[in-house]
Structure formats: structure tokens, C-alpha cells
Amino acid sequence: MVRWIDGFYGGLIAGVTSALFYALVAVAWLHDDTFAGFFAQPALALPAFRGAQPSFVTAALGIVLFLLLGAAFGIVYAQFARRLPSMWQAPTSVAWGLCYGLFVWWVLNDVLVPLTGAVVLQPLWQGLVGTILFYGVVLSELTTMAHRRASAAP
């Protein structure tokens, strides 16, 4: 059985790994943005912060929003995994993680971004790699590990 809390923690951890990927690639490697500018983007999509300059406050709020979204998508994944055992059984869990990461990318870029009026600044390949590999696959494997740990407990 996969619990919702496994999805919550898995989503948080996968959110951190994808955020680290984005920070290392976009900020440290390609120098496309600053840390504050990159992490402020989710906060700047909120109506109260539109047009504001990236700052420590907007970057901190952006990180919190990023992690909350990661946790929410993790809970959704765990709810599906409760009903579909192949989502927490290797090797099919990797395929589910790839598909779920693509679904998350689609929801973020084709649903949430237009709804909020946010501007996507990152190249397509960064968004896909960061969401599919560093969020979706990490989440699926964390869910698989949580299920194995729960099954092995007496």
C-alpha cells in the first residue's frame, strides 16, 4: 500500500532535486538567470507580485511555492499508485515516472502558466529534463522505495 504521506515526502524530495537541477543548469552553468531571479518566478506569477523585481522575499516565496507544488503532485502520484501496483514495482515504475513527469510538465506549462499569466523563460529542454527525469523518475523511485520499506516492516 502506498500512503499519501509517501507521496508528500516523495514530492518534496523530487521537488528539491528538480530545483537543484534548474539552479545548477540555468544559473550556475548557463548563466541565464540569477538564483533570486530564477526562484522568484513562481512568486512573480501571483497577482500580488506581478511586476515586482526579484528579491530575497520573492525568491523565498517562490521556493516555498515550488516545493508545495512538488508535494501536491507527489500526493496525486501516490493516490494513483495505490490503485496501480505497476507504479511501485520495478522496472515499470521508471516508465510511470517518465510519463508522470511529462504530465506534470504539461500541467505546469500548458495549464498553470497560461492561467497565471506567467512568463516561461527557460528553454524547452531544461523544463522537460528537469521535470521528467529529476521530478517524475525521482518521485516514482521514492514511492517504490517507500512501498518496499512498508512491505518489509513486520
Q: What is the pLDDT along the chain (154 residues), one digit of tens a residue?
A: 789 999 999 999 999 999 999 989 988 887 777 888 888 888 888 888 888 888 899 999 999 999 999 999 999 999 999 999 999 888 899 999 999 999 999 999 999 989 888 877 788 999 999 999 999 999 999 999 998 888 887 7
Q: Tell me, what's the pLDDT at 26? A: 83
How many Å apart are CA 124 and CA 131, to the nearest integer? 11
Q: Tell me, what's the pLDDT at 41? A: 87
Q: Tell me, what's the pLDDT at 71? A: 97
How many Å apart are CA 22 and CA 26, to the nearest integer? 6
Angle at 79 between CA 120 and CA 118, to 5 degrees: 15
Q: Tell me, what's the pLDDT at 116? A: 86
Q: Tell me, what's the pLDDT at 33? A: 79
Report the domain count for the chain. 1
Q: Are 86 and 97 within 8 A, CB to CB?
A: no
| pTM, full prediction | 0.90
How many Å apart are CA 63 and CA 59, to the nearest integer? 6
Indicate the SS3 state at residue 32: coil
Q: Which range of residues forms the domain containing residue 78? A: 4-152
Q: Tell me, what's the pLDDT at 30? A: 79
Q: Tell me, what's the pLDDT at 7? A: 94
How many Å apart are CA 26 and CA 102, to the nearest integer? 20
Q: Tell me, what's the pLDDT at 119? A: 76
